Structure 1
Amino acid sequence: MNKMKMNFFCSGLVCLVLLTAMPFISFAQKPNWQNLDLKADSTFGISTEKAYNELLKGKKSVPVVVAVLDGGVDIEHEDLKPVVWVNKKEKAGNGKDDDKNGYIDDVHGWNFLGSSKGSVNYETLELTRLVRRDNARFANSDATSVKASELPAFEAYQKNKAEFEQELAEAKIGLERFEGIKNAIDEVVKKIGKENPTIQDFQSFKPSNDMEANIQRILLAQLKESSFEDFYKNQIMSGYDHFKSQVDYNLNLDYDPRGIVGDDPNNSKERFYGNNDVTGPDARHGSHVAGIIAAVRTNNLGIMGVADNVLIMSVRNTPNGDERDKDVANSIRYAVDKGAKVINMSFGKSYSWDKAIVDEAVKYAVSKDVVLVHAAGNDNKDLEVEPNFPDPEYIGGGKAASWITVGASGWTNDGTIKASFSNYGKTKVDVFAPGVNINSTVPGSKYEKLNGTSMASPVVAGLAALIRSYYPKLTAVQVKDIIMKSVVKVDQSVEIRDEAGTKKVPFSDLCVSGGIVNAYDALKLAAGYKK
């Protein structure tokens, strides 16, 4: 779901890349800002530290299992290992299904993207899969040759195919441009003769043509705020890799990795497949999410999670590409059956293959008193107009009562409080939470700052777990109600960009609650909560 939005200003082959969604650019702000307090720290966090200092000292809590449905979690990370969930009914490594739940050796969770053959890393987008499916029916058809009963499906196919072709064309242009600037930088670095040149090295460099002069100008500006290594990795290679994976995998009609899993991807009712590799081939995103929720607060290492008595269950359902509805449904059911009381879902897509099967799983979770927290998405779009799946609204009517959709906010109480990339929706997004430049855990016991509603969602999941930990008698629906009623209202107008241009709207038009979640106020409300 972490899609980068990029603009390009090109001169010849050289493009100055502006990452408008700010996925990696470093900005100065206070450490642990998402947990700080607006009044005490002049930072629009959620007042977690204030809550611990003033409300929770000496209070007892119970452990709460939070399922991270994602791309995998590094369960050996120094700041996560002590809070990793353990299935006590399963004996590790014996190759048996000790707890008789259909999943062998699921000691720390489950991976619905693998088998004994390995695990899926890259996947296609849902749009690609829909076009591939319907090509078989309609590739050689037109409106006159299609049966009247199939006309709606044919029209949907035409719309999807046009969207697919546009996205593929844009990805190819993006790849070409990033490849151009990458090659140009590589050539200059080769001439300088250092693997990681400094700003002084670029100042001393004598360009021999306009392209090299442009590279020099760009790097002199960038290296005032970053090292060359970080700039190259986070702004050049990240963009190059993003577009290359789109062209090679996400938007490739001939690419299908599902054979690794060995299931029938068209059978949404199939439940028992996968493996117990809960880390998977790329656990960066899921580990970052897990750390925001529950990184150990008392070990003087790295960061501090929102919740202090949480066990993280890793359920792998999200590849580098779009998740499949079947896997989403199964991962929700797995998490519920193994005792998760909060589920974080930092993934999403614009199309749904089988929404009904996800709806069934969501209804099951709601019936079992589980809070479901979902990221609103990073496309700066209005969810009143454009969908983002999964969502809490059931086919045929009704809505998941304990579902919370989360937009991303920044730390400054001004017109920039809405993250530029965050989706929004007056009735579709419930709350906003910190999601810009959030430092958290990544594989190898390292830490990294990332941006996205993917980061905002676990802030709220952590808050839900914190409430359930200290006030375990509250139901999932009551926890949502408390989170919604305790937001800090934002009395600002913010800029929204759409196809018509830029306009200013009240922040209250962006979400149901009109504010940013707040742990201090939520816990105060929970203490005397009466619905």
Structure 2
Amino acid sequence: MNKALLLAATALVCLVGTIAASAGTDSYVVDRPAYTLPNGVTIQARSYRIERPTPGTFVPGIVIVQTRASYGVGKGDRTLAGSPLNQALASSRVRDIGYASFEPGAAQLNSMEARMTGLNRLYSVRYDEPIEPFDLCKRLMSNPDVEYATPLFMHNLTFTPNDPRFVQQGALTRLRAAQAWDVTKGSPDVLIAIIDSGTDYEHEDLAPNIWTNTKEIPNNNVDDDQNGYVDDVRGWDFVGNVSYSDVMSGILRPDNDPKVRSGTMTDVLAHGTATAGCASAATNNGKGIASVGFGCRIIPIKCGSDNPQITAILQGYQAIRYAADLGADVINCSWGGAGSDPSAQSVIDYAVSKGAVVVAATGNVGANMDVTPFFPASAQNVLAVGSVSDNDIPSGFSNYGWGATTYAPGENVLSTYPGNQYRGQSGTSFSCPIVSGICGLVKSVHPDWTPLQIIQQVRSTSDVISSAIDRRQQFYGRANAERAVKVNASWTTGERLPGLYVSATQVSPGAAITSYDNTTVQFTLSNALADAPNTVVSIQPFDVRTRVMSGTDVNVGTVAHNGTATGSFTVKLADNYPWYEDNARFGLTIRSGNYVNYHLIEIPVRLSTSNSQSILQMAAEYDWNSIRLTADGSLWATGRFIQAGGVPVWVRAGSSGGTNLNALPFVPTAIDAVDASTAFIGGSASSSTTIIYTTSGGAGWGQTNVGNIAASVEGIRMYNANEGIFVGNPAGSKFGVGRTTNGGQTWTEYGTRPQVTNGETIVPGSVFFHGDSCWFASSTNRIVRTTNKGQVWASAPFGISGARIVSLAFRDGKNGIALYRTSSSTDAPYRFAASTDAGQTWKATQFYPSTLGFVPVGVMSPGGHHVLLGNGGEVFGSDDNGASWQPILSRPAGWVTYGTATVAGARPTIVMAGQGLSMLQYRYSGPNGSRILAFNSNTLDLGDLNPGQTRVRYAQIHSSGESAVRIDSTVISIENGPADGLVVAVGPGSIIEPGASKQVGVRLTASDTGTYRGTLRIFSNAAAPIISIPVTGRVQAAVSVEEDAVAGIISVAPNPAADVVTIRTGIGATLTLQLVDTRGAIVRNVRSSAADGHHRLDVSDLAPGMYRLVITGGPSIRTVPLVLTR
């Protein structure tokens, strides 16, 4: 096995895992609430989906954990004193726990910025338990003291190497750098931190601009500035000279030398020197190159190894924190990685709160970063930089999107290279520091500007990229250094531009879209720059299945400099919205006069469902094209490993763990499996049609040449470990059908195979097995079928002129669907045809797949209903042979090209393949069955309460029909009592499956005495669209009139109370005082004597909430509501 394939095998061991227990477990969501930094910057609420990472992208044996409380840790500590987290880590064999971003004892730990961003409670945990960091993080997420836990991710440099050559610096001309230098040549007080592989600070064209830490005395081995880093005179090396095994063991060797000291210089090791030169090489010094930053100084920070075999950036986020604490004005990050990371956002929030602009490369895989996040560029409040050519043509390698702040030249950029050399290189790695240099110039002109002002200034003054003007939302503009330092010189005169952006969003009701009802989204616009009169915001949903129900244009008026304005719009999920968990994305176009900006907002969608989808493997390195999920939960699949040159591979993931991945000797065309041990793969080897088989889980394979039977293998079905058939293209005048009775050791021609005409072949992907039956479509639009395991075959014309069949599926022996295209044209529309006689006749349906909003991949069936799979992982079901389709809620699954349906663990299951592998286990009850919904009781009685009490009681509803019931709304109408006396406290959710029961909670809040009456109504799509139940409750005083008269006037103060309550009464000098909580438990019972009638009750140790104070004196009893607060 070659090295690449070995890495792939390692990846799949981690990523596929145990199929039977994996549904819904191979990712988790971290929801971060909105909050405001000490400098007033608002961090929006955001959901981070943490997928199981690919090996090589994280450090084994380390997790990053943010706790809810802060705990002090010292060197070598293995626990957090007093934290419930210790119990969760008890089995993890913890080696040590330390701060993830600070050194122990650092003064900054107690800063307001550290506390607000949570960095003072962000810890790195090293452990020896044999468990993947991802799995440990999932376990820790259920701990009450854990806010989130993530693996420690490694990041890649974002450059594309070129051969060394002399390149003219056309980029500076395009950027109008010389004109910007007429305004400012940068300031030595402006610091640009280069977080990278290491920087040759002794380079002739960098040395004059290298920052020196004047708070440190060189080489005295003392941390003079007490920042936790000894002798960091010129920055810091967070990694040192470490090997690959060191990195995988979490071993780093930091030191105070940020220069690479390696005898073998590579473009990776030289990367930081090149990015530093792009940002602020010494200019006008008669040497080397000019650089945008001109006189701004560079802080070199090394996060790569001196070992040329290590290409990753390590400790990048700790370095961001370090740079911010040093006072860096600009922090350059020419690196990143796919996925999202809440701990990265916390560090960036800290840097922004300290006044630093974080500038990051968008990445070099040509991907849409709105769809595939790339951190840190995709984090909030980061200036994300993509690449264009010197002629303003977007670079093919550059990531792009609404999230890209601006672009800059990134092709053949001449810059510094270690050893006083100069070379041209390409990548967003080099467009990024060019923009960092521009930020340095802006900071030099406006030293009092905030990071968000500088970010918006660079974006607002960017030139339109004419070659991509029709996609300006994704290619906003190319940075212009001259305009960045000239525009907005004054807020009242000269050329001025706004800097409008969305600073906050809020969803109502709740924090997410949780139903198909209308949801209101409120947004806040902030303006970092000049006044913005007549501001209009236009809303554009990214998904046609997400609709804006209010007007798409919102006029928010004038947004003043440093001011805000709010607006709102109403959205609704269409009935065919397919995802139970995703982010609904909306593009906001913000206009004020000639100014325009674009902002992407994401609103979480969390629909209630019993479905669960597991992303088994998601990586562009694989292309999976054939799958089989067996009854014992074992997954077998074939495909290509693209990074190894498209090598054909097979994989098996066993139901009890263990995964095999190996190369195949031929291109696979079909697969079937019986269990974890027995599988069969068909294909063509050395121009011979071949079926290989294993009975040992892939440890060994037998091989049988079936070229005498068929020219290809298009489908295999094993009825047990020994008996089965395959179908394939004709080797002679008949379609190929072979049968085995000895587990694939031999195959013989079988059955009354139909004759072929005019080069007729089987349509790829059209073979479908159900029980003893098999169907396939031919290139001449025949449907060929058998109902007895291949003994007898028959055929019939499809009967729809011009059709090109894509796939077939039968939900039983008679009812089938064909997905076809209306012609051979590549843009021909898709249609459905249905058969009710086992495929003998077909009739086109009137349902058009285009209305569902995706490109169909194929139809399939696990039995009982049909399933349509979309190219994004959309899943729709039909119980009427394709006449109508309903969403089977799933999650986005990347680019999908193939799928299979079966029953696993008594639940219908779909495995999707393409860019990745994912598995959806679901429940489906079509719309054509009965829907019956009813309450399980005739009334809901909340009982007797006293004023000040609250109580919640539940009514149960049950779905007893054949189809699921959709709940549209739940309301309660008041017939007697206060308007807010009875409210719905707990709803039943949006869907109630057949046979399921849900509870509806009603809360009575007692204020006025009397009888509270109302009617609880549930609106749904059941046969009875409205069901109702009467609700009653009674509120009465605790004592009679006679007792009140005896008791006299009673005073309880203060109420609400926090510490001591004073009770004054005419009952007598001696009282019994009892406090009763809402559960009816007596939490305080004291005998009080007070000659003056002033009785004092200490409540300082009780929890806040509602209580009843029962006062007993002689024959009198009095009850008074009492509220405790803190």
Structure 1 residues 272-291: aligned runs within 5 Å: 274-280=254-260, 281=262, 283-291=269-277
Whether the 8 Å contact between 1:371 and 1:480 is mirrored in structure 2 is: yes
In structure 2, the CA distance between the partners of 1:27 and 1:111, relative to structure 1 (3 Å rule), is: closer
- SS in structure 2 opposite 1:478? helix
2:328 to 336, 340, 347: 340
Instruction: Tell me the CA shift for residue 407 of structure 1.
Output: 0.4
2:161 corresponds in structure 1 to 23
* Secondary structure in structure 2 of the residue aligned to 1:440: strand
Identify which of 368, 380, 400 aligns with 1:424: 400
Instruction: State the alpha-carbon separation in 1 of the partners of residues 250 and 220 from structure 2.
Output: 23
Q: Could you tell me how far apart the structure 1 residues matched to 2:301 and 2:166 are?
A: 34
Q: Could you tell me whether the CA contact under 8 Å between 2:213 and 2:234 is conserved in 1?
A: yes
Structure 1 segment 115-514 matched on structure 2, within 5 A: 119-120=241-242, 123=244, 255-257=245-247, 261-262=251-252, 274-280=254-260, 281=262, 283-319=269-305, 320-324=310-314, 327-351=315-339, 355-393=341-379, 399-400=380-381, 403-413=382-392, 417-425=393-401, 427-493=402-468, 506-511=470-475, 514=476
Q: What do residues 310-342 of structure 1 show as CA deviations (whole Å, max 9, x unaligned)?
A: 111111124543334xx1221011101111010
Tell me how far 1:507 sits from its aligned partner: 4.2
Distance 1:478 1:390 in 2: 19
Q: Whose strand proportion is higher, 1 or 2?
A: 2
Q: Tell me if structure 2 keeps the 8 A contact 1:490–1:507.
A: no
- Which residue pairs with 1:34 in the alignment? 171
- 2:313 corresponds to which letter in structure 1? E
**Alpha-carbon distance in 1 for matches of 2:330, 2:431:** 15
Q: Which amino acid aligns with 1:508?
A: R
Q: Whose radius of gyration is greater, 1 or 2?
A: 2
Would you say the 8 A contact 2:279–2:436 is kept in 1? yes
Paired residue secondary structure (1:373): strand
Mapped partners of 1:27, 1:515: distance in 2: 28
CA distance in 2, matches of 1:379, 1:33: 24
| Identical-residue share of aligned pairs (%) | 33
- The structure, 1 or 2, with the larger RCO (C-alpha pairs under 8 Å, 6+ apart) is 1
Aligned residue for 1:70?
A: 196
- The offset of 1:391, in angstroms, is 3.9
Aligned counterpart, 2:206 = 80
How many angstroms apart in 2 are the aligned matches of 1:347 and 1:475?
A: 24
Specify the alignment match of 2:235 in structure 1: 109
- Can you list the C-alpha shifts for 1:382-432, whole angstroms capped at 9, x where unaligned? 112222122443xxxxx32xx10000010124xxx111211111x221111
Q: Is the 8 A contact 1:261 1:274 kept in 2?
A: no
TM-score for the superposition, normalised by structure 2: 0.28
Deviations 1:345-373 (A, max 9, x none): 00011246xx2322221110111111000
Following the alignment from structure 2 to structure 1, what is the Cα–Cα distance between the partners of residues 300 and 406?
A: 25
* Aligned equivalents of 1:82, 1:22: Cα separation in 2: 28
Equivalent-residue separation in structure 2 for 1:113 and 1:388 (angstroms): 23
C-alpha distance in 2 between matches for 1:346 and 1:371: 14
- Distance (Å, rounded) in 1 between the aligned partners of 2:234 and 2:164: 33
Greater Cα shift, 312-321 or 464-473: 312-321
Structure holding more helix per residue? 1
- Whole-angstrom CA distance in 1 between matches of 2:254 and 2:228: 10
Per-residue deviation, residues 26-56 of structure 1 (Å, max 9, x unmatched) = 8996x221110xxxxxxxx211012224x34
Q: Is the 8 A contact 1:471 1:526 kept in 2?
A: no
Give, in whole Å, the separation in 2 of the partners of 1:83 and 1:56: 16
2:338 aligned counterpart, secondary structure:
coil
Residue type at the aligned position of 1:103: Y
Q: Which amino acid aligns with 1:49?
A: A
1:323 & 1:61 partners in 2: Cα distance? 29
2:187 and 2:399 mapped to 1: Cα distance?
34
Residue number in structure 1 paired with 2:180: 51
Contact persistence 1:375–1:456 (CA under 8 A): yes
- Deviation of 1:22 (Å): 6.2
Structure 1: runs of 5+ lacking an equivalent: 1-20, 37-44, 124-254, 263-272, 394-398, 494-504
Could you report, residue by residue, the CA deviation over 1:8-34 in whole angstroms, capped at 9, with x for unpaired residues? xxxxxxxxxxxxx963158996x2211
**Distance in 2 (alpha carbons) for counterparts of 1:61 and 1:351:** 36
Question: Aligned partners of 2:311 and 2:473: how far apart in 1?
Answer: 31
* Cα distance in 1 between the residues matched to 2:473 and 2:445: 32
Question: Is 2:411–2:425's contact at 8 Å kept on the other side of the alignment?
Answer: yes
Aligned AA for 1:48?
A: A
Paired residues of 2:362 and 2:385 also in contact (CA < 8 A):
yes
Tell me the equivalent position of 2:490.
Answer: 528
1: distance between equivalents of 2:223 and 2:344?
Answer: 26
Instruction: Tell me, in whole angstroms, the C-alpha distance in 2 between the residues paired with 1:346 and 1:452.
Output: 9
* AA of the residue aligned to 2:444: S
Residue 96 of structure 1 deviates from its aligned partner by 1.4
What is the alpha-carbon distance in structure 2 between the residues aligned to residue 66 and residue 23 of structure 1? 24
Using the size of structure 1 for normalisation, the TM-score is 0.58
Change over 3 Å in CA distance of 1:315–1:26 after alignment to 2: closer
Q: Secondary structure at the match of 2:422?
A: strand
Amino acid at match of 2:348: V
For each residue in 1:173-207, what CA deviation from the matched residue of structure 2 results, as whole angstroms up to 9, or x when unmatched?
xxxxxxxxxxxxxxxxxxxxxxxxxxxxxxxxxxx
Structure 1 counterpart SS, 2:376 = coil
2:482 match: secondary structure:
helix
Cα distance in 2, alignment partners of residues 81 and 455 from structure 1:
19
2:456 alignment partner, SS class: helix
Give me the whole-angstrom Cα distance separating, in 1, the residues matched to 2:302 and 2:280: 18
Asked if structure 1 preserves the Cα contact closer than 8 Å seen for 2:184 and 2:444, the reply is: no
Cα separation, 1, equivalents of 2:210 and 2:160: 30
Amino acid at match of 1:506: D
- SS of equivalent to 2:396: coil
Distance in 1, matches of 2:219 and 2:420, equals 24
Check 1:293–1:22 CA distance in 2 against 1; reply closer, same or farther (3 A cut): closer
The amino acid across from 1:277 in the alignment is D
Contact 1:322 1:349 (8 Å CA) reproduced:
no
Q: 1:28 and 1:284, CA in 2 relative to 1: closer, same or farther beyond 3 A?
A: closer
The change in CA–CA distance for 1:56 and 1:331 in structure 2 (over 3 A counts) is closer
**What is the distance in 1 between the residues matched to 2:410 and 2:250?**
34
SS in 1 for 2:373: coil
Matched with 1:136 is: none
SS in 2 for 1:344: strand
- Work out the CA distance in 2 between the residues paired with 1:292 and 1:484: 19
